[in-house]
Chain A
Amino acid sequence: MSFLGLPLAAVIGLALSALAAVVALYLLKSTPRPQVVSNVDFWLRAVEQAKPSWIFSRRIPLLAMLLTLAAALLLVLLAGDPRLGDENAATTVVVLDAGRTMAVRNARGERRLDQALDLLGDVVAQSTRRGRVAVIRAGVRPSVLLPMTRDAHELDAAIDGLSTEEGPSDLVAAVALADGVVARRPSGDDARVVVISDRRPETDARRAPMTVLTVGETGRSLAIVALGARRDPTAMGEYGVYCEVRSFAEKAAAARLVIRDRDEVIAEEDLALDPGERVVHRVRGLSSDASEITARLEDVAIDGRSDADELASDDAAYAVIEPLTHTRVLVVSPGEGNRYLEAVLGVNPSISFERVEPGAWDRARAAGFDVVIFDRVLPPGAEGVNHAGAMLVSPPEGPVKLGGAVRDARVTAALASHPVLDEVSLDGVTVRAGRALVTEPEDRALFRAGRDVLATARDTASARRVTLGFALDTGATDLVLHEAFPLMMHNAVVWLANQESLPLSARRPGEPLRLPGRLAIVGLPGGEVRDVRGGAFFDTGVAGIYRVNDRPLAVSGAEVAGPLEVGPATAAPAFAAAEPPISLVVALVLLALLAAEWVLLNRGRV
């Protein structure tokens, strides 16, 4: 038998207290009280006449005490909520949703997170009576909020200052993490996963029964659901802004959309939206070297009420326009050159290139370019390839070690994590004719066909180099016909010029920022500046404009904005252990004991 309501120690303590109290009461009860009567002879005769015939009646005080004691112990048992089953401890892992929608406030001004924290307190208090509990915070990335503990009081410190993120919570990952915690429980322990959220996760825990406790009510909001800013490809230096606003309210809504570039208002419009309506606002022809765009909904009113918008975080969105960069490329190509290569370089407005015959190449001239591409040729002497940024396309034998010939080889593996292949898909790319590359220790294979390395990248302290084992024409590969080609070339030029930057697209709140080096200075939207080591910055829960080494980066939750609906409510928290309750049986026994005590003591059988 196990107890769900109270810890075993508390049940034992209460039982001992009840034992002492009952015995003391009966000792007190058996102490005679003095009473004067007119004549004791009548009493003596009465006692003699009423002598019990039932032998057990002589021991009725003792029996009554035992019955009362049993009744008291049963009451203690009931308070402990006894369950059939073994005494296995229970491991409870609670997943607490701290995503953006948990900041939605109800009519009483109470956040969904506040309701969730109340529930969390109950769950933790119950769980620690019988076992251990851990709490996982489900934000954009799940994290352990409260490590496994038996002390419910540790929760207070853990949730101190807890706030929601402005990005969506990843409940699937959080449940997976909970599964991992459950897997490490002591063998033989029961386990359960409790999810406290405003929606049901799209997955179930695999290692333990999962209970979902839903909090909140469906909310109303006017939200910026998209904000984009990009340069006009036809007019260098100009950019446009795309902003989309949607109503998630069942009543008519109104607001003023204000778009600013830093502190300067670049657009302003009064919006009136019907329930569910979507409004798009575009701004074009703006000119700036670099912009930090903020779109904000002001004076939001739903059904005429200014306080009806229940989520403030989706009223703002952020975007940036990167500063213009210019990369100079020298293409060393024989004959008529390479039209695919020149075309792909020519369409990129940030690249200016110049082609020379191999004979016209000299080091002094090359020094004026950020990147040199040797197309099917190599300059005399090995020093030519030691340019700070060099790309060797189908190089002849020489400083580059070449392997065997490659024919009709399909790319089978690619190093997607390398900046040159960032967002580049080489699926289906075939090399019809080329040479395999022999990698040296400092080389990294970019992609290969089976064992044959088709492309390498080298990054040393003084230079970067990309080598392709095949020519960039349709006779050698169909890569030049794939959409991956211009992207790969762009990535390669940027990487070789050492100008790779953080992705320009706005990231979601909570997603990590990849930093350009091991040490970076990160400025937060609130003005705080941190020195960050390790190549990544994770504290991006707040939306806004971040600065990485003075380079602006937008973190915006616009694309995750959506209706503030609540998932289906769970009927009742299934906190009870799987074992069946025996309270009813205990209560019936208790009633029987009380009835027996009444029959013995209150019906005159003395």
Chain B
Amino acid sequence: MGLLDRAAKRLLEQLHLNVRPQATDVGQGGHRSRARATGLEFADHRMYVPGDDIRHIDWKAFARHRQLLLKTFEEERDIYIYVLLDLSLSMTRGEPPKLDVAKALAAAFAYLGMKQFDRVRVIPFASALGREQAAARSKTGFPQLEKALAGLEPGGVTDFAAATRAFAERHTRRGLVVVVSDLMEASDWGESFRMLGRLGHELWVVRVSCREDERPDFRGELELRDAERGTTVRVRLGAGVLDAYAREVRAHVDRCAEACRKVGGRFVEAPVEQPVDVLLRAVLAPSARAA
């Protein structure tokens, strides 16, 4: 069985991925762009200056205002969609594992992009970028991408800053960057988000979470082992420590969300305990419009 079932695909068929115009590429596609050209969608009037194409002079406006006004049109262009998929070992926690849900979400973004003839890249990362999966510009290539995603194995320690730097060097074209991760690394993710923003990308962060990360029900004397680094720490857990832990995680996630929003991005929570179709609606629906 693939990462997306028929129901999920039917749902995705009804959705359309909206991206801010400034993140569009130069190629012709289905997204509104900031470029004013010979598109079909009327955008605005501006004063005629010599050199402009006189075919776009609005003569009716000239008749009413005695001013030469030029009609401008929006040009619809395609976009690059970069899905940064967290493959660190912390993604193996949860029931179902966070990585399974993250793969499904990445596949969903890829499916939407293919449907809209966008250029989709699924790029796994942990402490560095992994081998990216380039998708065809049509849905015919989706099964191959889905298979490749399913075959990805977890490993390594999360270092999003290093991964982001490598991504910036490798991919210079603007686009939509979707970070699918549990964000369970206590370092500052905000700097990396800001760098992506400065590069002109539109940033979406999908945080895949599980109950164990949010509010575990551990009690008593425990030897906690870090899933990524293998380090251990012995603690005696009571309600006080659990409350403090929940507050720590929440504060970290809130900081990440704030940083994401500051660069104009979207931050979405995706608890693994929820069904995939619910997650897809939660993640995609607010920004998507019906096709």
A residues with CB within 8 A of B = 29-47, 49-50, 52, 61, 601-606
Contact = CB atoms under 8 A, between A and B. Distances in A.
A39 B226 contact: yes
B224 to A, nearest CB: 5
A39 B227 CA distance: 7
Contacts of B238: 601, 604-606
A32 B243 CA distance: 20
A35 B93 contact: no
B159 interface: no
B234 A38 contact: no
A32, A43, A605 interface centre (most CB from chain B within 10 Å) = A43
A605 B242 CA distance: 11
B237 interface: yes
- The SS class assigned to the B binding surface is mixed
Interface in B227-255: 227-229, 231-245, 247-249, 252
28 contacts: A29-B220, A33-B220, A33-B222, A34-B223, A37-B212, A37-B225, A37-B227, A38-B212, A38-B228, A39-B227, A40-B229, A40-B231, A42-B184, A42-B252, A43-B241, A43-B245, A45-B186, A45-B245, A46-B241, A46-B242, A49-B247, A50-B243, A602-B239, A604-B238, A604-B239, A604-B240, A606-B239, A606-B241
A41 B241 contact: no
B98 to A, nearest CB: 8
A38 B182 contact: yes
B186 to A, nearest CB: 4
A45 B247 CA distance: 10
A36 B252 contact: no
B223 A42 contact: no
B4 to A, nearest CB: 25
Contact of B232 (A40, A41, A601): A40
Contacts of B93: 36-38
B184 A606 contact: no
Contacts of A601: 238
Contacts of A49: 244, 247-248
B233 A43 contact: yes
A30, A33, A602, A605 interface centre (most CB from chain B within 10 Å) = A33
Nearest to A30: B221
B273 interface: no
Given A29-B221, A49-B248, A604-B238, A39 B186 contact: yes
Interface residues of B, number: 39
A602 B242 CA distance: 12
A42 B227 contact: no
Given A32-B222, A603-B239, A39 B234 contact: no
A46 B221 CA distance: 15
A248 B233 CA distance: 88
Nearest to A49: B244
A398 B242 CA distance: 126
B72 interface: no
A35 B219 CA distance: 11
Given A29-B220, A30-B221, A46-B245, A39 B235 contact: no
Given A29-B221, A32-B234, A34-B225, A39 B239 contact: no
Given A47-B235, A601-B238, A39 B90 contact: yes
B60 to A, nearest CB: 64
B228 A50 contact: no
B184 A39 contact: yes
Given A32-B223, A605-B240, A606-B241, A38 B248 contact: no
Interface string B195-217: 00000000000000000110010
A606 B237 contact: yes
B240 A40 contact: no
B185 interface: yes
A34 B241 CA distance: 17
B248 A42 contact: yes
Nearest to B158: A39
Contact of B225 (A36, A61, A605): A36
Contacts of A33: 220-223
A46 B233 CA distance: 12
A61 B238 CA distance: 12
A33 B184 CA distance: 22
B62 interface: no
Contact of A45 (B231, B237, B248): B248
A59 to B, nearest CB: 12
Contacts of A32: 221-223, 234
A50 B213 contact: no
B182 A604 contact: no
A33, A36, A61 interface centre (most CB from chain B within 10 Å) = A36
B42 interface: no
